[in-house]
Structures are given as structure tokens and as C-alpha cells.
Chain A
Amino acid sequence: MTQAAEFKKTRTESMLLNVGPSHPAMHGIVRIITELDGENVLSSDVEIGYLHRAFEKSSEQSGYLQVMPYTDRLNYVSPLINNTGYCLAVEKLFGLDVTERAKYIRVIMCEISRITDHLTCVGASAMELGAFTAFLYMIKARDYLYKIIEDVTGARLTISYMRIGGVKGDLPAGFEGKCREALAETRKVIKECDELLTKNRIFVDRLKDTGVISKEAALGYGITGPFLRSTGVDYDVRRATPYLVYDRFDFEVPVGEHGDNYDRYLCRMDEMEQSIRIIEQALDQIPQGPVLLGTDGKVIPAEDMVDEAKMGRVEGLGFRVADFDPTLAGANKYMYPEGHVNNKRAELPPKEDTYSNIEGLMNHFKMIMDGHGIRPPKGEAYFPVEGANGELGFYIVSDGTGRPYRVRVRPPCFVIVAALPVLINGGSLADIVPTFGSVNMIGGELDR
């Protein structure tokens, strides 16, 4: 800042330069209005909202399950994490706890998504600095991971894989082997890029000591994720308030110290390695079992047991204890809107059932029809998960009907873009490019 003040003293006239909204050196649409003195940025103003798609308004118009595709398109580089965050928030409203296997699947898919996000972020920002090779390598690795995601979910990008109460379907046969193979390839690519970039003179000179932010400023702006960790604050939602089964894995939270672009790059590179470690441990530990709630050996009501038998799932039924209702079973189901929720009213049936028998089809139909969908009890809940950019929180207000009354997503990169003037003021115009690259601005999440 002192340097900027000095420039201010000697300047003759400052110039306003408009960068964006569609600028070659920026992935994503944002407009930065800079006041320049020669090459130095004196002040700047950031204009966002070019990708405002009314996520929150659209969510209020649709049922709880129909929000899922919208969440895919929030942070479209790591959609599985958004899915998980939304599901966990709704499950918090219900008081549901998903099955062990579903938790492990969620962890594996989230971490794969995190790697794709970091690969894109690092690759794209390296490309903007002229390192096109690294970009090609990293997108190559990302495509290996997309292949895995496609095997599991059926789509490459907008997956809608998570369900309230579990996941859409089980992992396909041979998943473990394919996943380990893809991870080995990814690891190779990360190592190659590490060799290409980390000690590369040009790359280091562009990143070191640019876009610096202090610990206090970062906290004041509410920044989380790799961006905050690069300043030396050890805050990771997976560690601070472990959700799913993150407390069972041995992983490190990489922490930087300077809070500049280079530390953020190193944090992201380290995090990819840690994510791979988490996935490998999860693959070792993952138990067998159902992936949606309801059939995991809990005491089940008698009428459910009949339904199970109708669907031909009779194995193991003999060992279960039926829970008979002395009155007519299920007749009092709707009397306790705030009580324990019947699982059948929370989760969609597996796709095989929907397509192959009438029970599953009816169940599906009842869930999807307007006015018949799932109804969490009244109340409000906030659930944070660790997104690729930082704390991704869903705040959901329920009024007891089939539609969420209010869905709010706490966007992690919104706060970072808000801090962008702090990062670029006083630096030179060219430093905006690496700084903006390390912000990892994702339009869908920023503007929603």
C-alpha cells in the first residue's frame, strides 16, 4: 500500500481500465474495474452476478428431491460435494442417519470431486500463465476421474447422484480396481506437473508474493478452505466438525504460511494427494450393505416387511423382528408430523424397483408427485461441509410442506471474490491473472 501511495503522489493522471466480463485471461465471467497508474492497480471494484440463475428462487418452487439437479450446477467442477452438502442438511432436518456403505460412497465420491476441482483450478491458472502443457496433463487426469464418476453415476458432470437417505445406486462391479487405476494415473500426472511447475522459475516468480492476504483479513472476509489455510489458519470442516466418516481416516490438512498465490498452489497440490489417500483408505474400509436407508436390518414395521417380500427380497427376512401395531398398522402415520420420520417418506426407492415392480413404482410416484413428496418437520438447519473452495453450507428452512420454504447456500468463493480488491490493489495489472486463478472463481457458485 505504501508503494501505491507513492505512485499516487507522483502520478499525472490515473486510468480506468475495465477487465471483463468475458476476458481471455479469466475463466469465468466477472468484471473488474481497475484504476491504473501505469501498470499498477490503485483501486478496483468487482462486479458479479453475470451468472445469476436464481438457484434459491427455483429451489423454493420445487420439491426437496427436485432441488438436487440445481445443486449439481452450483459448483459445477465438484458437483458431488454440493449434492452431499444439500442431502446432509435435509437429513439433519429429518434426523436421518444414512447407512455405513452410503457414507463411505459419499466420501469417495466427494474426494474424487475435490481432486477434479483442484486439477481444474491449478491447470487453468497454470495455462493462464503460459504453462499450457500442465493444463493438458491435468485435464487428461481429470478425464480419467470423470470416467470413474460416469461409471458410478451415469453422467460426467451433472450427476444428481446423492439421494436424501443415501445414494442413487451402489458402486458398479469392479469399481475398486478401476478407481485405484485412475488414482495411480492421477498421481502420476500430479507428480509430472509438480516437476514442471513447482520449481519452475517463471511460475514461481509470477506466484510468489503476489495476491497476499493476512490471516486477520482473511478471517474478516469469512474466507475458508485452501485459501484460508494458505495463510496459516488450520481450519478444515472435515477436521473441525467431522461429518460422514471423515474421522476414521488418516489425512493431513496442508497449511501454508505466507498467504500468497504460491502457498495456495502448494496447498491445492498437497490436498490432492491427501484426497487420494482418503479414497484409498475408504476403499480398504468400505463395508458391504445397502446404500439407501430402510433395509439395513433395523426393526421394520410389518407392512414394510410385506412390501419387501412383494419385491422378492425375502432373504434375511426370517431373522428380523416385525414391529406390529396393535391398531391398524400405519394408520397413525400422519398424526405426528414432528416425530420420527418413516423412511419410506424420506427416500426414493432404488431405480431397479421403480422400473421393475409396482410397489417401487408407486413409492416413487408418491415421492415425486407435487404435494406428495417428502416433508421434513418444521424448523431450520444449517449444515457445513468442506467444499473444494471452502466451507459450503446449506441453510434450509422447512415449513412442513413438500417444498423447502427457503434454501440458502453459503457460497465459498463469493467471500473470496469479495476480498479480491484487497488482493490486487497495490500490485501490478499482470498479477491479477495468477491471483484470480488461485481464487478459483466458479460462476455457478458465486452468483447462484
Chain B
Amino acid sequence: MEVMDDRFVSGGFQTSKLDAVLGWARKFSIFQYPFVTACCGMEYMSTACSHYDVDRFGAGLPRFSPRQSDVLFVVGTISHKLAPVLKQIYDQMADPKWVVAFGVCTCTGGFYDNYATVQGIDTLLPVDVYIPGCPPRPENVIDGLIKLQEKIQNQKQEV
């Protein structure tokens, strides 16, 4: 750490890959679109507020416009009536984009195996991180978020 600081101070340089730098920058500036539909929204609120403070991970700014966001949080049950809306929102987001399935209903449909519910949003969109739980605890959400950050860091970055 000391060495690195010295080099910066003395106008030196540090080598890295562009991918790693971009990944590092992207993973700490997650602009999320919370697509909140159901119960999980309550835990989403708790995660975002003071007790758990998702801002510590650079994901504190929810954008309610798909065009301004990088990560789509699908929070809560998706019914067949709502599925086209979700798909449209996903299509409106600009690349690069990631999708987080928040809660078991979005992962598999959960215990709503019936005529109204989509059996997992991965039948509609590509999903990057699954956060199971009905609803997941805030700690669980933060764990999922860190997994997403790792994924963003290590992937091939499109510029």
C-alpha cells in the first residue's frame, strides 16, 4: 500500500487491465431499477434504509427510469399479466445491464405454483444473480449484491 501511494505521489504509474479498471468502477456505481411488486419490496426498503444501508456498496441510488439504470432488481412475484411489462422494461435498459432475481418467486415461482404466476423470471430474461428467500433477509440481499459485484468485476467489459 505504502509503495503504491508513493508512486502515485511521485507521479508514477500503475499497470492494470482496462477491463479490471472498468469493472472496478462499474461495480461500485450500481444504479438500480427496483421493479417492486410484492412482499419482497418491504425487505428491499429495509435494505435500502439506515439499518442495512446498501449505499455502503455503491448501490444507494435507485433510478426509477430503466434508461438510467444498470441493474434490474426484480423484487417480488411476477404474474402472467405483468410479464410483458417486465420484459419491456428490460428491453428499455441500456447495455451493459444485469438482472437480479430477488426472492424465491422470481427465482422459481416459489410456492405459487398456479395459473397466475410466472415460474421464475429466467423463463423471460437472462438472470445474473438469484437471491432466494421468502423474502430474503437484508443480510442475504447484501450477500447477493456482493456476488453481483464480483461478477461485474470479473467479466469481460463491453465499452
Contact = CB atoms under 8 A, between A and B. Distances in A.
Interface of A: 21-24, 27-29, 49-54, 57-58, 69-70, 73, 76-77, 120, 124, 135-136, 139-140, 142-143, 146, 156-158, 443-444, 447
27 contacts: A22-B85, A24-B64, A28-B37, A49-B81, A50-B79, A50-B85, A51-B38, A51-B79, A52-B116, A53-B79, A53-B112, A53-B114, A54-B116, A58-B112, A58-B114, A69-B111, A73-B38, A120-B45, A124-B45, A136-B50, A139-B45, A140-B51, A156-B43, A156-B46, A157-B39, A443-B37, A443-B76
A70 B49 CA distance: 27
A142 B138 CA distance: 14
B1 to A, nearest CB: 35
Nearest to B35: A22
B135 interface: yes
A54 B112 contact: yes
A158 B134 contact: yes
Nearest to A54: B114
Interface of B: 35-39, 41-43, 45-46, 49-51, 64-65, 76-77, 79, 81-82, 85, 89, 111-112, 114-117, 134-135, 137
A53 B135 CA distance: 16
Nearest to A137: B50
B117 A53 contact: yes
Contacts of B65: 24
Given A50-B82, A156-B137, A57 B114 contact: yes
Given A57-B114, A76-B39, A51 B82 contact: yes
Contacts of B50: 136, 139-140
A51 B49 contact: no
B49 A52 contact: no
A157 B43 contact: yes
A57 B42 contact: no
A143 B51 contact: yes
In this complex, the member of B43, B81, B112 whose beta carbon has the largest number of chain A beta carbons within 10 angstroms is B81
B39 A27 contact: no
A135 B45 CA distance: 10
Contact of B38 (A58, A76, A143): A76
